[in-house]
Chain A
Amino acid sequence: MSRLVTKLPPLTLSNPIMSASGTFGHGLEMGAIVPPERLGALVSKTVTLEPRPGNPMPRVWETEAGFLNSIGLENRGLEAYMEDVLPTVAAAARAGTAIVTNIGGHTPQEFVQLAQALGERPEIAALEVNLSCPNVQGGKLPFATDPAAARDILAALANVTDKPLWAKLSPNVARIDEMALAVEEGGAAAITACNTLLGMAVDWRTRRPRLALVRGGYSGLGVRPVALRCAYDCARAVSIPVIGCGGISSAEHVLEFIVAGCTAVQVGSASFSDPGLLGRLAAEVEDLLEREDCPDLAELCGSLTEGAPCA
């Protein structure tokens, strides 16, 4: 799979396919269904400093073209992650799958404490900084939308850890390119674009929301054009790599994001529709490149030619 080798400095991944945070468990939960070595990187569900029970039920709702969730970062906290999960992923890390821990917090200090603790762990290849969960305080945490606040978090984290920092951005902003520039300035090694769109669904007959907390993160096929635009805007703005995320469920989709400027991609709610997808996707991308006579991903990356659409 040499044509899939993906450089996300300082990391080199075997392929550009990753799990999106929150859609694949914390560690090797899916190991019997998706061999972890098939993934370039395994991105954990968000880890917070303290245990978080998450949001009340109902938490998920499917719509015509996508999927709403309001899980609320349910997780057992940093200590349990370090004791129970990290030792189990060590073998996957040794086999070449990059283990990426997604971290979330309410304050810069919480992020710093997480990075300090996790930065000591050799199993972890990179930290993905969740600046953008829409299900915590309604997505209104300042660093989700304020470039200066996002930059300061990245800068504070870069001060306390040598791990590469990936900044996961929200699409729920007017100018995602400004957020991208800010996190690059703060010291991000890569950008994940993007998190879920803030959405909601209602049952008008019962006058009730479909999600207990009304609003949720919208993902799935319907968001792909938005996510592609976000990734494109980020890739055009910064010189660090961009990891595309949003509505990707096939090799064709992967290459759309690569052409738009992404170096790698994350697959999220498509794993809910087809739990085995992530185990096949890298091979399907390789087959597609072979069929289309494309030498490798690096050549495709950012090759989108602007102007009139092809006839």
Chain B
Amino acid sequence: MSERVDPGFIKEMKHYGTSDWNACFHCGNCTAICPFTENESLFPRKGIRQMQMGLKDSLASNVDPWLCYYCGECSDTCPRNANPGEIMMSLRRYLTTIYDWTGLAKRFYQSKKWEFGVMILLALLIMILFIFFHGPMTRELTSEGGVQLNTFAPWKKIEIGDWIMAGLLSFFLISNILNMYLKIIVKDRQLKVPFRFYIIEFWSLIVNFFTQKKFSKCEKDRTYWITHLLVMTGYTIMFILIVVFLGWFQTDAIHPWWHGQRLLGYYATFGLLVGIFYFLAGRFKQNTQKNKYSHFTDWSFLILLLLTTLSGILVHIFRVTGLPMLTYYTYVIHLMILFPMLMIEVPFSKWSHLAYRPFAIYFYNLKKRAMNRQLQPVLQ
């Protein structure tokens, strides 16, 4: 079946960060230098051509952009300065909007008004909820000298909110992943994936989610991978603490420093801070290929994460040093940043890659395995 070309597609891609779209003349140096490209996935050139020609169906089923971790070697080697690495990045942004069936991702990526508008709305929602439903703002301290945060914001009530949020996030993210699965695996009519492959390859999904071991092979310098791993684990620990173990995490008691609650909290805070400052510094200095071009969503993501972390630290400090009013206000501000950030970033924007990347590797492995099986009789 021949696919219709679409010259208008390039205009759309410009929203996702592609600038010099036609500089590439397909010498293939990028594919040759890329440490990840294999016979089954000849990126970045293939994706660049699909973009130039506006082959939207081919792109939607193309898993390659997620297999790229943007080491930037292709852009360094490109004789035309076509910046293949950044095109792969913008294709990831584009694919995020394609997997999202609600259309919100597209709005957030294409329009600052939408992104910041929704962010403010969600923040106001949190504020209103606190105005109407907050507990007594007592100035009385606990016997240890800490603030009675659970009186102002009982963890049981907050946990209900957390669960609602986690439910929404899961619903959007999982439905988007299903959509991704439809486009990559199901739509490929020639591809037949036996059920056992799904089980065999499931291990790679888990391993890649937690270790990002593929990423570690991307660069000679492992600093980036380690930093990224710090952020990822810090974030995951924090997320689990607030959604699953909020009663254990949000206490009025001041535990000794070696207590698990504090150690985990400090590790997560440390991981997030190191990562955020490392990434922010990189984007300011533009010292590597992947840092040279920043989409506005890259900045808003990092800044929101930084503000969340900083406000979280302040809540902790104010609580243990016994400053009740500051604790309460900072707590509300903390949630006013945290909630919009998660709602926008996780299912609809940059943070969705935490799910799309491991699933892309999973789908790619399935595809490769199935294709090899289908080819075998031919080869014999």
* Binding partners A and B: no
